[in-house]
Structure 1
Amino acid sequence: MSEDLYDQVLEMDGEERYDYFLDAVVAEREIWILVNAASQFLKIVSEEDRVAYVPVWPSDAFAREYAKGAEDLSPKAISLPDFFKKWVPGLTRDGIDIGVIPGTERELWITEPEQLKRDLQEVLSTPGF
């Protein structure tokens, strides 16, 4: 991924980044998260909004860029079938939302796991994918 693309995506508003994420994830059939050395996924808790979310990215490069400077975090891919079958029910049960392509201090699209699943399935069902 070029640095230009990375910067371009981060300059988008939350909804545009969400749409980009959906298309990119469906094309690659993977969602990327960050995990620590103990394989625990990164979860961010916003005290201000009282929301807990897992940040997700459409590629290894986006996740790696976000983790720069955090030596104990590394990108990990989750296949779409695993995400649908294991992650969505688990995150829903635990009350954890999903933050799509965090990066700058700009707005962040946060969604419920079931909603992201429905949106991804909708893109998957469109002709051309």
Structure 2
Amino acid sequence: MHIAEITAVMKLPSNVRYEYFIKKVTDFEEVWGLFSDAWATSKDEDGNLFIPFFPKKEFAEISAEKEWALYKARSISLDDFIEKWLAGMKKDGIIPSIFPLGNDMAAVSIDVLLKDLEMELENY
């Protein structure tokens, strides 16, 4: 990925980064997260648990800082993400944090994320 694209995408608002995420993960059939001994998570002030997901390895690596400094980017196949991850997260009440940059993220329901992924996959 070219640094100019990375810089431009990181300046986008969370809703546009969400759309970018949907398009890229369906294009490349993989989702990226951060992993150390376990997958990276965060909590909001209400105690809701989030797992961050990224459209490309480079964005995950850039986010491996502060509390995630020891984490490494790891890919998840899109099929596993849809069939296993999202079902398990829904059961456990975990919210996907799509392409977070600091506290700026698209936190969407799993049902909306699934619908958006399935709609985009219909284009292939």
Deviation per residue, 1:28-74 (Å, 9 max, x gap): 000000011x2x11111011x54321111011111011114644201
Identity in percent: 27
Which SS does the other structure have where 1:108 is aligned? strand
- Structure 2 counterpart of 1:52, from 49, 52, 70: 49
Partner of 1:96: 94
Partner of 2:9: 9
Which SS does the other structure have where 2:100 is aligned? coil
- How much does 1:4 deviate? 1.8
Partner of 2:63: 66
Alpha-carbon separation, structure 1, partners of 2:9 and 2:92: 30
Return structure 1 stretches of 4+ with deviation > 6 angstroms. Answer: none
For structure 2, the residue ranges without an aligned partner over 5 or more in a row are none
Alpha-carbon separation, structure 2, partners of 1:103 and 1:13: 10
- How much does 1:125 deviate? 0.3
Q: Number of residue pairs matched?
A: 123
Structure 1 residue 35 and structure 2 residue 35: aligned?
yes
Q: Structure 2 counterpart of 1:34, which letter?
A: L
The 3 A distance-change label for structure 1 pair 71 and 18 is closer
Partner of 1:125: 122
Q: Structure 2 counterpart of 1:3, which letter?
A: I
- Structure 2 counterpart of 1:113, from 110, 115, 118: 110
For structure 1, the residue ranges without an aligned partner over 5 or more in a row are none
Q: Structure 1 counterpart of 2:4, which letter?
A: D
Alpha-carbon separation, structure 2, partners of 1:3 and 1:52: 31
Give the TM-score normalised by structure 1. 0.87
Give the TM-score normalised by structure 2. 0.90
The 3 A distance-change label for structure 1 pair 54 and 90 is same
Alpha-carbon separation, structure 1, partners of 2:102 and 2:12: 10
Which SS does the other structure have where 2:43 is aligned? strand
- How much does 1:10 deviate? 1.6
Q: CA RMSD in A?
A: 1.6
Alpha-carbon separation, structure 2, partners of 1:45 and 1:99: 10
